[in-house]
C-alpha cells in the first residue's frame, strides 16, 4: 500500500474501547497518520494518558470518558468530534465485553445481558449518533469490531457468539441503508489478539490459548496493531469500494 493510501490527514475519527488493546493501538496508529481522534471508554485515566502521548507526538486527540451502553454518552463523544474538530469522518466502534466460555445452560442471565448490551447496544448507539453527524457532511466510513465468533461458534460463550453475529447483522443493514448516502459500513472478524481481554481469559483458564490456535493457520496471537491496520484501511479512502463486508484479521481461522 502506498503512503498516500494510508494518509488519514485531517480525517476525524471516533474510536470506542480506546483505553486499551485494539482501540488504543488504533488511536496511536490513526493519529500517527494525521487523524484527529476522539477516544471513548469508561476509564478516564487511561484515555487521558493516551491523549497526552498522542499530543506529545504531534497528533490531535480528545478523551470522552463514557459508557457505550448509554446513548447520551455516545452522543457526547460525537458532539465532541463536531465541536473540537468540526466534523466526523470515520468511526471505529470497537468497545466490547466477553465472558469466559461456559455451558449455555449455566451462563447467568447477567452475563448474557452484559455481553449483548456492550457489544450490540453499544454498536447500535454509536452508529445512530455517528450516522446523523456523517449525513450532515456527505458521508463517512464506519468500522465495527466483530470477531471470528461473529461467523462461527468458536467455543467462546454463546452470548458472545450471538452478540458478534448481531454486530455483523447491524453492519450489513446499515451498509445497505446508507450506501447511496455516502456512508460505508464494514466489520472486522478479529481473531485471537493479545490484549487485556485475552489476558484475563488466559488468567482464568490457563492453557486455553492452545484451543484458540487449534483452528488457526498462523499459530500465534495477533498484536493489537495488526488489527488496527485493517481498521485504518477500512476507515480510509483506500477501501472506497468495500462496504457491508466482514473482513477477517484472524491468522486464517476462518479459512480452514
151: contact with ligand NAP by CB under 6 A? no
19: contact with ligand NAP by CB under 6 A? yes
- Among 7, 32, 34, 42, which residue sits at the site for ligand NAP (rule: CB under 6 A)? 42
17: contact with ligand NAP by CB under 6 A? yes
Q: How far is the CB of 14 from ligand NAP (least distance, A)?
A: 12
Report the distance separating Cα 158 and Cα 169, nearest Å. Answer: 16
Q: How far is the CB of 6 from ligand NAP (least distance, A)?
A: 21
CB-wise, 7 or 48, nearer to ligand NAP? 48
The answer to whether the beta carbons of residues 148 and 191 sit under 8 Å apart is: yes
User: Comparing C-alpha atoms, which of 5, 171, 210 is closest to residue 93?
Assistant: 171
User: Comparing C-alpha atoms, which of 46, 44, 59, 45 is closest to residue 13?
Assistant: 59
Secondary structure of 129-190 in the HEC alphabet? HHHHHHHHCCCEEEEEECCHHHCCCCCCCHHHHHHHHHHHHHHHHHHHHHHHHCEEEEEEEE
CB-wise, 178 or 221, nearer to ligand NAP? 221
Identify the three-state secondary structure at position 252. coil
CB-wise, 145 or 186, nearer to ligand NAP? 145
| DSSP notation for 20-63 | SHHHHHHHHHHHHTT--EEEEES-HHHHHHHHHHHHHTT--EEE
Q: Half-sphere exposure of residue 53, counting CA atoms within 13 Å on the CB side?
A: 15
193: contact with ligand NAP by CB under 6 A? yes
CB-wise, 12 or 156, nearer to ligand NAP? 156
Is 178 annotated as catalytic? no
User: Comparing C-alpha atoms, which of 198, 223, 222 is closest to residue 209?
Assistant: 198
In the structure grid, which three cell numbers stand for residue 105, read together?
Answer: 445452560
Q: How far is the CB of 188 from ligand NAP (least distance, A)?
A: 8
CB-wise, 5 or 217, nearer to ligand NAP? 217
118: contact with ligand NAP by CB under 6 A? yes
Residues 49-78 contacting ligand NAP, CB under 6 A:
67-69
99: contact with ligand NAP by CB under 6 A? no
Q: How far is the CB of 52 from ligand NAP (least distance, A)?
A: 16
197: contact with ligand NAP by CB under 6 A? yes
Which residues on adjacent β-strands are paired with residue 184?
Answer: 141
Q: How far is the CB of 134 from ligand NAP (least distance, A)?
A: 20
Catalytic amino acids? 160
Instruction: List residues near ligand NAP by CB under 6 A.
Output: 16-23, 41-43, 67-69, 94-98, 118, 145, 147, 190, 192-193, 195-198, 224
Amino acid at each position: 500500500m502506498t503512503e498516500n493510501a494510508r494518509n488519514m490527514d485531517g480525517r476525524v475519527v471516533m474510536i470506542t474501547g480506546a483505553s486499551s488493546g485494539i482501540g488504543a493501538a488504533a488511536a496511536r496508529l490513526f493519529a500517527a497518520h494525521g487523524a484527529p481522534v476522539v477516544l471513548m471508554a469508561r476509564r478516564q485515566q487511561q484515555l487521558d494518558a493516551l491523549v497526552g502521548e498522542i499530543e506529545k507526538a504531534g497528533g490531535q486527540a480528545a478523551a470522552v470518558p463514557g459508557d457505550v451502553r448509554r446513548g447520551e454518552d455516545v452522543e457526547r463523544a460525537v458532539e465532541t468530534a463536531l465541536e473540537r474538530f468540526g466534523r466526523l469522518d470515520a468511526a471505529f466502534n470497537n468497545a466490547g465485553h466477553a465472558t469466559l466460555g461456559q455451558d449455555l445452560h449455566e451462563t447467568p442471565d447477567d452475563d448474557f445481558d452484559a455481553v449483548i448490551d456492550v457489544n450490540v447496544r453499544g454498536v447500535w448507539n454509536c452508529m445512530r449518533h455517528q450516522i446523523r453527524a456523517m449525513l450532515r457532511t456527505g458521508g463517512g466510513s464506519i468500522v465495527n469490531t466483530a470477531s471470528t465468533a461473529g461467523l462461527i461458534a468458536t467455543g467462546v460463550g454463546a452470548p458472545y457468539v450471538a452478540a458478534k453475529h448481531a454486530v455483523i447483522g447491524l453492519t450489513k443493514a446499515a451498509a445497505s441503508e446508507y450506501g447511496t448516502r455516502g456512508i460505508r459500513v464494514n466489520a472486522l472478524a478479529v481473531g485471537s489478539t493479545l490484549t487485556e481481554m485475552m489476558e484475563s481469559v488466559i488468567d482464568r483458564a490457563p492453557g486455553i490459548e492452545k484451543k484458540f490456535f487449534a483452528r488457526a493457520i498462523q499459530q500465534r496471537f495477533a498484536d493489537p496493531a495488526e488489527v488496527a491496520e485493517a481498521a485504518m484501511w477500512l476507515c480510509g479512502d483506500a477501501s472506497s469500494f468495500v462496504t457491508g463486508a466482514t473482513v477477517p484479521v484472524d491468522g486464517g481461522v476462518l479459512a480452514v
